[in-house]
Amino acid sequence: MFKIRTLDNGIRTIMQRVPYLNSITLGIIIESGSFYEDKNNNGVSHFIEHMLFKGTKNRSARQIAEAIDDIGGQINAFTSKEHTCYYAKVLSEHLPIAVDVLSDMLNNSTFDENEIEKEKGVIIEEINMYQDFPEDLAFELLNELLYDKMSLAMPILGTEKTVKSFTRDQIVKYFYEKYNPKRMVIAAAGNLDEKEAYNLLNEKFGSFNSNNFSLNNFVTPSYDYSPTFKLDGFIKDIEQMNVCLGFTGPSTYSEDIFPLMVVNNILGGTMSSRLFQEIRENLGLVYNIESSITSYNGAGMLSIYLALNTDQVYRVAKLLRSELVRIKQEYISEVELNKSKEHLKGSYILSLESSFNKMYEMGKCLLHDKKIETPEDVMKQINDVDMDSVIRVIDKYIDWNQLNISYVGNVKNKGAFEKELASILTGGEMSQ
């Protein structure tokens, strides 16, 4: 079961004891990401994530790494569009060390001017690196098209221009505004004593940013958007064409999420899916083809990605259109429905073997004031998916009027290519 308690400064904690493990994964999840930024400070959340590893009043960057390396543990962090998460995985007996290091990073980071300037170079190189990955470029452009003027459209890393513009004052101000105890959760899963762990967390984190209870400076952007058909791409001298299709999808906690997961498995989410088997395995026309669901608190996307030879784009686009029309008209069979549900249940049970997954999922739920779901809750939701709910989500989300298309590849005539591709994928209804 989950144990939820609040530290003296308002930070909520959630813990799950898993007695058969020898380790604990501890995470600090903050409501900070590109979704909460604007065009002037885009990338600052990710920049702060880097800076917290660059030294504190008590430890150098090397000493932060060594403190965890020396006990055989792992420490890392990541920034998404809606969250920043710092986490450590250690043997149960070393939990005090993990807590001490992570609390030191949050309480005592120096944000040294010289380190800030050095890190600008590192992150700009990271941004430039993505230019070498056409799949990432295509998905980034798809986000821009689908989410349009909403802040979800902005990249997590920011841009070279915004990163270069960051000042220490700007970074520190953002840190104390967004790393607000009321917007933070500490989660832990593994072989722990909940009472001892809570006391330890309260000692080390209970005074963090304790004078900043006000949420006046924390404005949650709107999730309102009205997707319309759009198509755009980058011309790049590469061998393969990378194409992404994006429809709107359900938010993370929507009742539609599990029915659409079932549909996604059947469409292109697994190696046995329709798209993968027909277009890749049977016809050998693509290097890769897959569908996926990306969900946020108030928005989501059903996407299809394909990597293929430029000469095959139109042929594959016709086949893809045919499969989408077929699932819209004929839906799925009972056999496909049951197989997909079993796949979801198996994948979910396997994910529970990871203490990181346990930590992160229950931490996110608590952060957003959502019900902390037990495995039994999740299994019931999967089992409850029926043909009616599948038909509902297919009709709702596979909508040509909301289709967005992005591509990265070597195209000789951009206008003619886009017109033909749009005509094929929409059946001529939205051709440009």
Cite the active site residues. 49
CA 424 to chain centroid, in Å, comes to 31
Can you tell me the distance from the alpha carbon of 320 to that of 323, in angstroms, rounded to the nearest whole number?
5
Strand ranges of the sheet holding 12-17, from the earlier edge strand across to the other edge: 2-6, 12-17, 184-190, 23-30, 84-91, 74-79
Can you tell me the distance from the alpha carbon of 223 to that of 230, in angstroms, rounded to the nearest whole number?
19
Nearest to 289 by CA among 250, 315, 258: 315
Residue 56 φ/ψ, nearest 5 degrees? -125, -175
Which burial class, exposed, middle or buried, applies to 216 when counting CB atoms under 10 A from its CB (0-12, 13-18, 19+)? Answer: exposed
Instruction: Write the CA distances from 222 to 143, 227, 347, 364, 402, integer angstroms.
Output: 16, 14, 33, 19, 19
Structure tokens at 401: 């009027």
Can you tell me the distance from the alpha carbon of 404 to that of 226, in angstroms, rounded to the nearest whole number?
12
Bridge partners of residue 85, in order along the sequence: 29, 78
